[in-house]
A = this chain, B = another copy of it.
């Protein structure tokens, strides 16, 4: 399936939770499958921190498909013969939607650190506006993992009549200090890299050579995406260098993995976008402004499906159980599934076979 990115431009202001506005703003997105005449066969997919709107299919000439291609496509779990699937790049990100690397209209200056702080609610609001513009007023399901799960939950709260089903994986109702601490390491590493230059870094330089600060931050991220057991299986205590165990800078296999993935990542992800997105994750608390989780979940009308992973070290299963218990306490339609997995947080991206039946069940 070859896909292309689409773009919508909005000239009305987007009112943000912070009180600031984005005006104008753009949202890029991809769609897979065909919208039916009733415009009611829509499945929305929301991406995580480092993800993009490229959820499935191949770009021309590419050998790697979108990040959830195993789930989305002709005859797959989210079947594009039946559903019109849409995935947008969140505002604040760096893959085409308005974010810190966009220009401040009408000047030629990039926002960089002048970009307003955005929240999960803002990301959801912007998507909702896009969907309305596309003539989509309700959808079969909204599905997302990690930060994508936060968006899915927020959709259920802010637009209770919009989605028949909300499916949230490997996520939470409120970011815990444990995750904020990982994000702190990343933010400090980015901001303190002298190449950051208070946000005035040279973009071409970074794209060519990578950006050490983001690379270190991404390493900290990887720790939280994996788990002690998945690392044991993946790396063990294997040692990769040939110059001996007693070389101070000799590396274990896990070091090599971190070096390789983090350096790659820092070449294509904008460090300022990283700061803004982890900030949005830190702020996320579904019940902010409400008295309790129960109080905010009172808004929910969608059927909720929660999928947690036993070894997830970032958003722990207990956090999803709390949502499920609160929902059922309110007499709402909620189901929680806990998947046995050694893959940690990454399971929602790699162990598709362990939860695709659950999603298929919801979509039938």
On A, residues with C-beta under 8 Å from B are: 17-20, 113, 116-117, 174-178, 180-182, 184-185, 188-189, 191-194, 212-213, 215-216, 219-220, 222-223, 226-228, 231-232, 234-237, 244-249, 252-255, 258, 275-276, 279, 282-283, 285, 316
Contacts and interface: CB of A to CB of B under 8 A. Distances in A.
For the complex, would chain A's binding face be called helix, strand, loop or mixed by DSSP majority? helix
Contacts of A181: 219, 222-223, 226, 231, 254-255, 258
Contact of A180 (B17, B18, B255, B285): B255
Contact of A185 (B219, B244, B282): B219
Contacts of A182: 223
Stoichiometry, copies per complex = 2
Contacts of A215: 188
B212 A192 contact: yes
Nearest to A258: B184
Contacts of A253: 177
A252 B178 contact: no
A180 B252 contact: yes
A223 B216 CA distance: 15
A125 B21 CA distance: 65
A192 B176 contact: no
Given A116-B246, A176-B231, 16 more contacts: A18-B244, A18-B246, A117-B248, A176-B232, A176-B237, A177-B234, A177-B235, A177-B237, A177-B253, A178-B227, A180-B252, A181-B219, A181-B226, A181-B255, A184-B258, A192-B216
27 contacts: A17-B246, A20-B246, A113-B248, A116-B246, A117-B246, A117-B248, A175-B237, A176-B232, A176-B237, A177-B231, A177-B232, A177-B236, A177-B237, A177-B253, A178-B223, A178-B226, A178-B232, A185-B185, A185-B216, A188-B212, A188-B219, A191-B249, A192-B216, A194-B194, A216-B216, A248-B275, A252-B282
B185 A246 contact: no
Given A117-B248, A228-B316, A275-B248, A184 B219 contact: yes
The 5 nearest A-B residue pairs measured at CB: A18-B246, A177-B254, A177-B231, A178-B228, A177-B235
B235 A216 contact: no
A184 B228 contact: no
